[in-house]
Each structure stands twice: as C-alpha cells, then as structure tokens.
Amino acid sequence: MLKSDDGKTVSYWEASEDLIKKDSLIESIETDICIIGAGISGLTTAYLLTKAGREVIVIDDGLIGGGTTSRTTAHLSNAIDDRIYRIEEWHGEEKARLAVEAHTKAIDEIERIATEEKIDCDFSRLDGFLFKADDGEDDLDKEFEAAQKMMQVERVERAPIKDFDTGECLRFPRQGQFHILKYLSGLAKAVEQNGGRIFSNTRAIEWKGEDSPEVKTANGQTIKAKSIVLATNYPIMSKMFAKLPAYRTYVIGARVPKGSVEKALFWDTADPYRYVRTQEEAEHDVLIVGGKDHRTGQEDDANRRFANLWQWTKTRFPMAEEILYKWSGQFFETHDGLAFIGRFSNSEPNVYLITGDSGMGMTHGTIGGMLVSDLILGRENAWQEVFEPSRLATQSIKEAIPEIVSSTVPYVDWITGGDVSSVDGIKNGEGAIIRQGASKIAAYRDENGKLYQRSAVCTHLGCIVRFNSLEKTWDCPCHGSRFGIDGHPINAPAISPLGEIEESSN
Ligand code: FES
C-alpha cells in the first residue's frame, strides 16, 4: 500500500484506495501553467484549465492526494463551519451570500465532474444536521435566522439518530459526501487525458513571479511558466503564517451494522465541534467521527482525544462496535472563516494561491480551482472579492489576539531544558528533545533501536519543534510546520529539512 507522507496513521481513504505515484520530474521544462500541489485544490484547477485547452504541469512533493487531502473526512457542506451568522457579521450579508453560493456551487461542481468523467467515487447527496452540544453554544436560533436568508434550511424536532435525542436542530438539504481518493484518482486521469502532466515526488523549493515566472525543484530542475498556482496546504514562500494558524484534528472510523446509522452529515455546536458521517462497506458501514482539534505542536495527547471521541460516539451511536481506523490531519484557519484564494500579490499578478481551508477543505479546494482557473482564463468571477487573499481580517481583534499570542509563546522552549538528558532515556518508538549547549536536538529511536537526530530548530522562523507521538513527526508549535523523523519537511511554512547534527553512535 502506498501511503501518505503525513504521518504514521492510516486514514480510511488510504486504507481503501491506493494513492497514485507518478514519475518524478527529471528535466527542466516550460509550460503555460505550473501548479504546485496535487491535492483537491491543485487537481481541480488543473482539470478546469486543461479542459479549457491550456497546457498544465502539476508537481507534488509526495503522491497524488498524499498530503492533507488524504486526511479529510470528505464532508461536502455549504453550511459554513464558523456559522453563517458570524460570516455575515464579519463580511456583511452580500458577501456571506456569495460565500454560501460558492460552497453550494462547489458541491454541484464535484457532482458534475464525477458524472461527466464517470468517476466512481461514492458521491451522494444527503441532509446535514446541526445540533446543540451538551458542552456547546446555544446559537441555533441565530444561525437559523441568518441562514434562511441565503440558503435552504429548516428547523426539525431532532436529528435522525436512532438512539440519541439531539433536541431541536437545523436541517440543511443537498449536502454531499464522497470518497476523496477515488475522486482524485479520476480527476488525475481526466487531467492527463486532457493533456496535462503530473509529477510526484517533485518538491518545489522556490518560485518567482513578475516578468519571468519559474519554479525551482529540490532536484535542481526549473519549470518556466506563464502562471504559477500555489495549491499546497500552506503556500510556500509566503509570509501568511500570522493569518493562518495551524491545527490538528482527530478522526475515528468505527464499524457499525449496515444501515444502522442514517446516511447524513451531523455536526454539533461544541468548540471544537464534532463531525459525523458514514461510509458504506460491503459487510458493514463505517461511522466516521472527527473533532478534538488543537493548535499544531501544542499538545501531544492523541490517545486521550481518541478515547474522548469514542466515548462521545458510544453514547450517541451505541451500535458502534469497534474502532477500525484512527488518524489525524492538519488544517489552517483564517481569522474570518473563509479561505484565501486569488492573486498572490499586486507585484506578482501571475502567481495564484489557494489556502486557509478553515476545516472545509473539500469545498474550499474546489472553489479554489473554479476561481483561480477563471482568473487565469480572464473570466469574471463574482467570488473574487470574497476570497481575496489581501483582504483585511474583518474578525474582531479580540478574537485574533489569542491566536497570535499562541504562535509566540512557544519560543520560550529556547530557554527550557530538554525532555530527557541524553539519548539513553529514549525508548524504541519514542522521540524527545535534548538540550545540547545553547541549542536543542530532536532525537527519535525507531522500533528497531536506530537513532535519528536532527537539529530541533524549525527551519521556518526558529521555534523549537515538539514530538508528535501519534504520527511520529516533529511539529512546530508556532506556525504548524511539520517534519519527518529524518528531518524532511512535511508541511510548510518551512520548506527546508531540520538541520543535520553529528549523530551519536547509539
Ligand atoms: Fe514558523 Fe516553525 S513554523 S517557526
């Protein structure tokens, strides 16, 4: 099984569909459009541009869909996570309406592409239900009032969960769900049929726009292009980290008897909220439940979070028999609930970005493909201003400040001691930070006792990384960069590996 580079755990999608590997780029080339990132954002953009007859090259540092896209739960919703009433408060009614329209059209677009390209990706339409959590805000009235102005929504007595009375909740019709890796596999095939080229294991390390746009790869090739699209989860070589706090989220997939849970999307008002859907298998269904998010690198208690999700699940879905899958994923929040999609800057108008999925990566990624392809093709798009990357954060400063403080406090790790005093204190399968003079070492011992040591200094802006014992990665608590145990970069903003040190002989 080819697996994503994102960490040790295996998502349901990876377990049930092979990730696709393409050839690496081995020579410098020229093209019309170079897209960095072969997740849902990059491949949707590539699909729409190749369909319009443009010459496109897509590169990815791993496998097709092997980044954050493979860690989703593949909900498709137009009921924006941050709530419609907050989107209206932050952006005004007209822009909120356009944002809802964009998410609605994104679901339509996925359905259209899957139908036209005959992609067998388990796409289905279903209702979504938002209900009040015991430990959550009671804001259903406010949400209903705002949502009814711009989308289909109704109050219902309870969500259709057999053994659990949710109380009055909101029903959003015509939501969707699909199998993301089956969809990406079909999308990649369609891109190639349209003449596009896709290269995996090809890491972009540098780009420039202006008069002679080009992308440089870690292997020394140059891709000259008229337009560049940054469709990585976090746009490399950008300085948006203060506007894009990184989070980890946790997911369990439990066996339930066939048909025992209504096929629908469910989510509650807790913060962070829980989100639920089912996926059909031949002999049983899989109940997929996610939540328990935290800032990347700032907690390392995945087992407690999984146990909490399981306990919550068993209380509401007692038919859940056992946990079959556990995984975690990364997402980037914006301060105002909507992704950043559009031109990178005024001085580099031929570079585009799609980022800030805000927990709605499937629809935001698809909106990104639709909007950026329109911009490149010179078509009007009414959503341009709504998702404009240079927009001022409209969220109140009161709400943004805790995020900024949270990105700064971890620098204190520079003056603290290590987790252990020497590598002798590290057991097989564990990682720890060791102080060495003025600096710190990130040390990991694998299951066979082999020791890996790298500098613990994040190559983005110098925070000290922390061990993620679930995924066996080094995660940066400041802005969410992540590195493998051998130091290779997994998630930007950092794009260089953790520094080398002289390894001990253990
Ligand atoms: Fe910014 Fe590590 S991600 S310092």
Together in a domain, 43 and 55 = yes
Q: Is 504 inside any structural domain? A: no
Q: Is 14 inside any structural domain? A: no
Together in a domain, 198 and 284 = no
Q: What's the first-to-final CA gap in the chain, in angstroms? A: 31
Together in a domain, 351 and 487 = no
- In this structure, are residues 74 and 178 in contact, taking their beta carbons and an 8 Å threshold? yes
Together in a domain, 287 and 387 = no
The CATH number covering residue 441 comes to 2.102.10.10
Together in a domain, 478 and 418 = yes
Number of domains making up the chain: 3
Q: Is 403 inside any structural domain? A: no
Together in a domain, 415 and 468 = yes
Together in a domain, 354 and 254 = no
Q: Are strands 285-295 and 246-256 parallel, antiparallel or unpaired?
A: antiparallel
Provide the token pair at 59: 């590169």
Q: Which atom of ligand 1 is nearest to the CA of 476?
A: 2
Together in a domain, 172 and 186 = no
pTM score: 0.94
Distance 393 CA to ligand 1 centre (A): 21
Together in a domain, 101 and 201 = yes
Q: Ligand 1 pocket test: which of 296, 412, 476, 482 has the largest number of ligand atoms within 8 Å of its C-beta?
A: 476
Atom 3 in ligand 1: residue holding the nearest Cα: 479
Q: Is 22 inside any structural domain? A: no
Together in a domain, 278 and 299 = yes
- In this structure, are residues 196 and 57 in contact, taking their beta carbons and an 8 Å threshold? yes
Of 395, 422, 443, the residue at which a domain comes to its end is 395
Domain membership of residue 311 as a residue range: 124-176+246-330
Distance 478 CA to ligand 1 centre (A): 5
Give SS3 for 428.
Answer: coil
Atom 4 in ligand 1: residue holding the nearest Cα: 461
Q: Which atom of ligand 1 is nearest to the CA of 461?
A: 4
Distance 453 CA to ligand 1 centre (A): 19
Together in a domain, 359 and 381 = yes
The CATH number covering residue 255 comes to 3.30.9.10
**Radius of gyration from C-alpha coordinates of the chain:** 22
Nearest alpha carbon to residue 105 among 160, 44, 60, 59: 44
Distance 105 CA to ligand 1 centre (A): 35
- HSE, CB side, 13 Å, CA atoms: give it for residue 97: 7
Show pLDDT as tens, one digit a residue, over the chain (506 residues).
777 788 899 999 999 998 999 999 999 999 999 999 999 999 999 999 999 999 999 999 999 998 889 999 999 999 999 999 999 999 999 999 999 999 999 999 999 999 999 999 999 999 999 999 999 889 999 999 999 999 999 999 999 999 899 999 999 999 999 999 999 999 999 999 999 999 999 999 999 998 889 999 999 999 999 999 999 989 988 888 888 999 999 999 999 999 999 999 999 999 999 999 999 999 999 999 999 999 999 999 999 999 999 999 999 999 999 999 999 999 999 989 999 999 999 888 899 999 998 889 999 999 999 999 999 999 999 999 999 998 865 555 556 666 666 666 666 666 677 788 888 889 999 999 999 887 899 999 999 999 999 999 999 999 999 999 999 999 999 999 999 999 999 999 999 999 998 655 44
Together in a domain, 282 and 309 = yes
Nearest alpha carbon to residue 37 among 498, 497, 491: 491
Provide the token pair at 338: 């909507």
Provide the token pair at 17: 């569909």
Q: Which residues line ligand 1 (CB under 6 A)?
A: 241, 458, 460-463, 476, 478-481, 493-494
Distance 475 CA to ligand 1 centre (A): 9
Q: Which atom of ligand 1 is nearest to the CA of 494?
A: 3
